[in-house]
A and B are shown apart, each in its own frame.
Chain A
Amino acid sequence: METLAASAADSPEARAARRIADAAPGVARDAEAELYRLLAPRARRYGLRHLRDAHAASDLMQHVMALTIEQLRSGALREPERVLSFVLGACRMTVIDQRRGERRREDLLQRYADDVPSLADLHVAPRLDHQRVADCLERLPERERSVLVLTFYDEQPSEVVGRQLGLSAGNVRVIRHRGIDKLRRCVDAGRRAAA
């Protein structure tokens, strides 16, 4: 965590956090919006990876950002330049809480729901042309296509997919990497051609 704090001390996130902490509570709206724009997608991504549910990830993001802004406004976060560490720690704790089924998250969301900036400004994952992806998948060699289908159908690790196809986990990882790389290039090429 030290690397995170040290490398990000003069980051845009840290500057926005300092502006919020230095202002009277609720006054630095621009800085709050900026901090939200920068950090909310990262918190959401963390939630998606660890909770595997889009709604739960959005809840986590809202909770963590509300908590962060609350802590900055109140001065409880005494080193605003460590905001990245704080957010990552809050993400981790929220996932643990969610797994325990605790309710503090909902309480906080209700208290600060109106203060958290709109989701509308958030970066969202790219939307892909599913037909194009299907065409590109079909162009892949059998082994790569099957590994990708079995991998992504359930987002399974290499060991599980390997057992299902009679391959070693290491082999699945190699095939998976090669397949996704080709798929990505094919979809990109189609997108560029259509633009």
Chain B
Amino acid sequence: MNANAATTSHLSLEQLLDYWLHDGDAAATEAADEHLMQCDDCGALLDELVALGDAARAAFRAGAVPAAASGAFVSTLAERGVKVREYRLPHNGSVDCTVAPDDELLVSRLEAPLQGVERLDATWRLSLEPGVQRTRHDIPFDPRAGEVLFLPKLAEVRRLPEHTMEVTLLAVEPGATREIGRYTFRHRPWPAT
């Protein structure tokens, strides 16, 4: 009898994620340990999930993936020695900005009145692309924080020439959207030496 056949049912993707990310209790972890000791199919799926997580981490560290985050997350990275360049914009504010060669993380903190907002979208307009507007839907945020944190793709921003970017935050309400903040970034490349 094959060891895999000896297992009556496989662990689900969700169970494996819970196992790997310490989201289960001690009994669930023990059961998963036991199952994985005899089931190579589930082991291979777990390996795949772990590899995906590793690749996601590597892509983010390389500045190739944008994300919305929290101040706590950024603080944790800064405490670990990640070189963070942070721009804090007041409500409806603007800022001159750049990316230094040794920056490892770029953070835009947009202060905004978020109380009562249930869903948040954002539009982007770059002076480099006249007439083009990009939209990001359903951005995660903590309304108590009073700010939205964007971590743009640092590798991409670093390559861009001088330009202006306008970001508009929109509260999505039943049947309508309401502008809750508008922000302007005036970007200049880091001066060549």
Q: Do A and B share a complex?
A: yes
A180 to B52, Cβ gap below 8 A?
Answer: yes
What count of chain A residues pass the 8 Å CB interface test?
65
When distances are taken between beta carbons in the complex, the residues of chain A under 8 Å from B53 are 151-152, 155
When distances are taken between beta carbons in the complex, the residues of chain A under 8 Å from B64 are 130-131, 134
A10 proximal to B (CB < 8 A): yes
A42 to B36, Cβ gap below 8 A?
Answer: yes
Choose among B19, B22, B38, B56 the residue that contacts A148 (Cβ–Cβ < 8 A): B56
Chain A contacts with B in 110-157, Cβ cutoff 8 A: 123, 125-131, 133-134, 137-138, 141-143, 145-157
Which B residue sits closest to A188, measured CB to CB?
A: B48
When distances are taken between beta carbons in the complex, the residues of chain A under 8 Å from B173 are none
Bound CA–CA A41/B139 (angstroms): 39
A189 proximal to B (CB < 8 A): no
A133 to B139, Cβ gap below 8 A?
Answer: no
B162 proximal to A (CB < 8 A): no
Choose among A134, A145, A157, A165 the residue that contacts B22 (Cβ–Cβ < 8 A): A157
Bound CA–CA A11/B2 (angstroms): 6
B142 to A138, Cβ gap below 8 A?
Answer: no
A45 to B36, Cβ gap below 8 A?
Answer: yes
B33 proximal to A (CB < 8 A): yes
Which of B70-78, B95-103, B176-184, B185-193 contacts the other chain? Answer: B70-78
Bound CA–CA A146/B139 (angstroms): 9
When distances are taken between beta carbons in the complex, the residues of chain B under 8 Å from A151 are 21, 53
Choose among A41, A138, A155 the residue that contacts B20 (Cβ–Cβ < 8 A): A155
B60 proximal to A (CB < 8 A): yes
**Total number of residue pairs linking A and B with CB closer than 8 Å:** 181
Q: Mark A45-70, 1 if CB is under 8 A from B, else 0.
A: 11011000000000000000000000
B140 proximal to A (CB < 8 A): yes
Between A13, A133, A156, A184, the greatest number of chain B beta carbons within 10 A of the residue's beta carbon is seen for: A133
Bound CA–CA A133/B69 (angstroms): 19
When distances are taken between beta carbons in the complex, the residues of chain B under 8 Å from A195 are none
When distances are taken between beta carbons in the complex, the residues of chain B under 8 Å from A3 are 34
B17 to A180, Cβ gap below 8 A?
Answer: yes
Bound CA–CA A134/B59 (angstroms): 6
When distances are taken between beta carbons in the complex, the residues of chain B under 8 Å from A157 are 21-23
When distances are taken between beta carbons in the complex, the residues of chain A under 8 Å from B59 are 130-131, 133-134, 137
Question: What would be 6 A-B contacts, judged by CB atoms less than 8 Å apart?
Answer: A1-B34, A10-B1, A11-B2, A84-B38, A88-B37, A163-B72
Given A4-B37, A7-B6, 8 more A-B residue pairs with CB atoms under 8 Å apart are A41-B43, A134-B64, A138-B66, A143-B138, A145-B65, A159-B23, A165-B142, A177-B13
